Structure 1
Amino acid sequence: MNAPISSSPATAAPSAASVHGTVDARFAAVREELAAVAREEPGLSAQLAVRLHGRQVADLWTGPGVTGDSLFALYSSGKGAAHLVTALLVQDGVVDLDRPVARDWPEFAAAGKAGLTLRDLLAHRAGLLGTPEGLSSAELADERRLAELLAPLPPAWAPGSGYGYHAFTVTALTGEVVRRATGRTLQEHYAERLRVPYGLDFHLGLPETEEPRYLPAQPAPAAAAGPVPAGLTALAFNTHADPPTDLVAYANTRGVRAGGSASSASVGTARGLAKLYAAAISPVDGRAPLLGPEVLAEFTTPHSPGVDLVTGERDHFLLGFEAQGVRYGSLSARAFGHSGAVGAQSFADPATGLAYSYTRRHFTPVGGGGAPENHRLIAAVTTAIRREGRSAR
C-alpha cells in the first residue's frame, strides 16, 4: 500500500544496519543518517517517511520484523490529526475558536470555567489535566467518559494565568465541543474527511482487521531512574493514580486501540502521518491543500508563551499543535505537528513544503517528546532541501 514515489530512487543494497525502503537520490544522506542511528541503537525498530511539496521523497524502515506497513502505537501523535480536524471545522465555520465552550456544553461552566473558549482548550490553558484521584485505563481510553468526568472540576490554575500540556485530556475536551456542535465525534470526522479519502494508514480507532500488522509497543532499555513526577506533571500523566498508568501496557490493550483516543491511543505508520501533514499544506492525490492561508496562519501562530507548567518546555504550543521550530532549529517558526510518547515525531513546515514523520516501536530512555535522533534526521532532511534549492537556482 502507499507505494513510494521516487523519480531517482537509491538502488544500493540495504546498509549494514538493514535500512530498507526507497529514497530520492537527492535525499540519500537521510538513509545514511537513519542507518547510523540504527547502528548506535541495536534492535531499533523505526520508520521514516518524508514528503516535499506533497511528493514522497523518503520511505524507510529498520528493525526486526518491521516493514513500511507495520503499525506502531503512536500515542499523542493522534493529537495532530485531531487538531487538523478542528482546524478544518473552524475553516468551515462549524465551530468558533472564541465561542465560550459552555454555550455548547453547559455542564462545562461549573467551577469558574464559563468564560473558557475552544481556543483556550486548544492552547492547553484550561487547567483540566486529570482528576484528583487519578483515572483508570478504561477512563483514559474513553474520551466521552473523560469529558464527563472533567466538566465539573475547577481548573488547576486561574484562567489566563498559565498553560500546561493536557497529555491525556486535550482531545477529550475539544472533541466534546466538536460533538456538541456537529453531532459527530472527532474520530468520525477524521475518518470521513481525512483517513478514508486520502487512504491514510494512521488510525484513531484501529479496526480488528488491521490487528495482524500491529507490533506491540516495547519499553525502553533499562536506564537510571529519574525523579518521580509530582504536582501538575503527575496529574497530567496520571502517575498519581493507583496504579500509575503504564503506557506500554495501555497501548498494548486491544480495547484501547479500538477506542481510538486521539490524545493517547493512535496507531499507524510513518507513511500515514507524513501524508496527513503533507495534505494539510500541499497538493496531494490531486486535491488542493486542506488548510487555507487564513486558518493555517491562525493555527501556526504561537499561543502559549513562557514555561509549560507540566513539561517545563518554553513556548511549547502554537494553536493545538506543538511548535516544532522551537525544538528543531532548522525548521521555520511556523512548523507545526506533534510528538508521541514512544519518541515519534511528525510535522509539516509551510515555509519549505516539508512533511516529516518518524515512528518508533521502543520507548527511549530519556522519554518525552520526540526521540533524540529526530534532531539528526531532521537536520539531514533540511540540509538536503537547502541543497536542492541551491541546485534549482
Structure 2
Amino acid sequence: MSQEITVHGTVAGGFEAVREEFAAFVAGERDDYEGQLCAYVHGRRVVDLWAGAEADSLYGVFSSTKGAAHLVVALLVQDGTLELDRKVTYYWPEFGAEGKGSVTLRELLAHRAGLVGIDAGFSPEEMADDRAIAERLADQKPFWRPGTAFGYHALVIGALTGEVVRRATGHTLQEVYEERVRAPYGTDFYLGLPEAEEPRFRTVQPYCPTPQQQALIAAEPTGPHTLTAIAFNQHVARPATLDGYVNSRRVRALGPASAGGVASARGLATMYAAAISELDDRPPLLKPDTVAEVGQIHSVGYDLVARAHKSYGLGFQATADMWHPVLGAGTFGHSGAGGTQAFADPRSGLAYGYARRRMVFPAGAAPENGGFVRAVHRAAQAA
C-alpha cells in the first residue's frame, strides 16, 4: 500500500466530500494506481480529479464504449432515421437468415436477439472490425428464440447496431459519433483513436487475482462451448485476453463499437452531460422523451450469458438497478470490464465518468465506484 500518490484536480463548493472519498481510496491503493474521476451536474463540471497519471491520459474503456455507440442510435431514433419497432431486416435484409427475420431494433438493443457470437468464433482481425463481425453474424442461427430471453451481447452488440446505422445512413456508427458527438464538444472519448493521440494512451494493465480469487475462478470454471464462452469469443483455439484486446493498436484505430473505445474520465462524463444537459451553449443532445425511452428497462432478470441478475435499457445498462441503487429511475450508462463506470442520471442532472488503468476482479465496474457515486450524488442533491 502507498500513502504517497498525489491527488490532483478540483471540486466545486459542496463537493469536498467527493475529493475526500477519492483521496481515501487512492491512499489505500497500490503505488502504481492510475485513475480519474469527473462529474457534471446540470451541465456544470463539479468534480475533476486524477491520481497517478495526467488529467488527459486516455484509457481503454471496454464496454463503456457501448454508451457512445448507443447514444448515436438514440440520436437517429430521435431524428426519425431509425424506428425502434421496425424489424432489423427493414434496414439490413441479410440479417433475417436462420430464423432472425422477426427481430426488431428494440429487441436487438435490449440484448434479446440471441446472437451473442458465432459457432466458429472470430479471428483477432475480425474482432477489431465491426463490418466483418456483422457479416459473419448475419448467417448465424440465434442461440435462443429471439425475444424469449436475454443475454449480454458483449463483443458484438455494437457491430450489430452499427450495421443497422450504416445501412440506414450510409455512414459508419463511428463516423456519425465523430460528427455529431465527439468533434462538436471536443470530447476525449474516441471510437477510433487517431495516431496523433496515441502518446496519451496508457496501456491497460491486467488484474492480478489473489489466491482467494484464483480459488473462486477454479471453483466455477466456464466450459469451452457455453454461451458465456461464445459471447466472449473464448471458444477459439487461442482466445485473446481482454487487456490484449484494447492494447491492440488495430482495435484502438478502428474503434469497434462494443468495447474498443478509448477515453478519459472527462470524456466519459462530458458525453453524458451533453446527452442530458445544456453544455457549451448547446441544448441537450437528447430530448426528454428520448431520454425516457433509452433509460426505460427493457430486459431484467437472469442474463443467460452473465449467469446473474442484469438489467438493460436500449443499448445502455439500467445503471441504478445493476450497480448504484442510490441513483434515480431511468439512469442510463455503461460500465466497462476494466473498472470504468459512466452514466447520466436525468432526475438529478448528474453525469459521471470514472476510468482507471489496472483492470479489476471481477471484470466490471470497479468497487470503488460505489463510494464515489454515493458521495457525488449526495452532493448533487444538496446543491
User: Is TM-score (shorter-chain normalized) higher than 0.5?
Assistant: yes
In structure 1, the residue matched to 2:157 is: 170
SS in 1 for 2:10: strand
Provide the C-alpha distance between the structure 2 equivalents of 1:336 and 1:75, rounded to a whole number of angstroms: 17
| Count of aligned pairs between the two proteins | 371
Provide the C-alpha distance between the structure 2 equivalents of 1:233 and 1:100, rounded to a whole number of angstroms: 26
Provide the C-alpha distance between the structure 2 equivalents of 1:151 and 1:254, rounded to a whole number of angstroms: 27
Q: Quick check: 1:77–1:338 contact (8 Å CA) kept in 2?
A: yes
Q: Quick check: 2:103–2:147 contact (8 Å CA) kept in 1?
A: no
2:143 partner amino acid = A
Q: Are residue 252 (structure 1) and residue 247 (structure 2) matched?
A: yes
Provide the C-alpha distance between the structure 1 equivalents of 2:69 and 2:81, rounded to a whole number of angstroms: 15
Equivalent residues in 2 for 1:142-221 (5 A)?
Answer: 142-221=129-208
Q: Quick check: 1:305–1:316 contact (8 Å CA) kept in 2?
A: yes
Q: Quick check: 1:229–1:239 contact (8 Å CA) kept in 2?
A: no
In structure 1, the residue matched to 2:236 is: 241
SS in 1 for 2:334: strand
Q: Quick check: 1:141–1:264 contact (8 Å CA) kept in 2?
A: no
Name whichever of 369-378 and 15-24 sits farther off: 15-24
In structure 2, the residue matched to 1:50 is: 39
Question: How far 1:107 moved relative to its partner?
Answer: 1.0
SS in 1 for 2:89: helix
Question: How far 1:385 moved relative to its partner?
Answer: 1.8
- How large is the RMSD of aligned CA atoms in angstroms? 1.2
Question: How far 1:380 moved relative to its partner?
Answer: 0.8
Provide the C-alpha distance between the structure 2 equivalents of 1:264 and 1:141, rounded to a whole number of angstroms: 10
Which structure 2 segments of 5+ residues have no match? none
2:334 partner amino acid = H
In structure 1, the residue matched to 2:324 is: 328
SS in 1 for 2:167: helix
Question: How far 1:133 moved relative to its partner?
Answer: 2.1
Q: Are residue 32 (structure 1) and residue 28 (structure 2) matched?
A: no
Alignment partner for residue 295 of structure 2, among 287, 290, 300? 300
In structure 2, the residue matched to 1:343 is: 339
Question: How far 1:16 moved relative to its partner?
Answer: 4.7
Q: Quick check: 2:110–2:312 contact (8 Å CA) kept in 1?
A: yes
Question: How far 1:314 moved relative to its partner?
Answer: 2.5
Provide the C-alpha distance between the structure 1 equivalents of 2:361 and 2:147, rounded to a whole number of angstroms: 34
In structure 2, the residue matched to 1:70 is: 57
Provide the C-alpha distance between the structure 1 equivalents of 2:299 and 2:27, rounded to a whole number of angstroms: 38
Task: Note closer, same or farther for the CA distance 1:313–1:349 as it changes in structure 2 (3 Å cut).
Answer: farther
In structure 2, the residue matched to 1:117 is: 104
Provide the C-alpha distance between the structure 2 equivalents of 1:385 and 1:237, rounded to a whole number of angstroms: 37
SS in 1 for 2:45: strand
Alignment partner for residue 129 of structure 1, among 92, 95, 116? 116
SS in 2 for 1:307: strand
Question: How far 1:240 moved relative to its partner?
Answer: 1.4
Residues 280-301 of structure 1, C-alpha deviations (whole Å, 9 max, x = no match): 1100000111111211111111
Identical-residue share of aligned pairs (%) = 53
Residues 302-331 of structure 1, C-alpha deviations (whole Å, 9 max, x = no match): 101221111134241011110111121110
Equivalent residues in 2 for 1:97-108 (5 A)?
Answer: 97-108=84-95
TM-score by length of 1: 0.92
Provide the C-alpha distance between the structure 2 equivalents of 1:365 and 1:341, rounded to a whole number of angstroms: 9
Q: Quick check: 2:99–2:141 contact (8 Å CA) kept in 1?
A: yes
Q: Quick check: 2:156–2:258 contact (8 Å CA) kept in 1?
A: yes
Q: Quick check: 1:302–1:315 contact (8 Å CA) kept in 2?
A: no
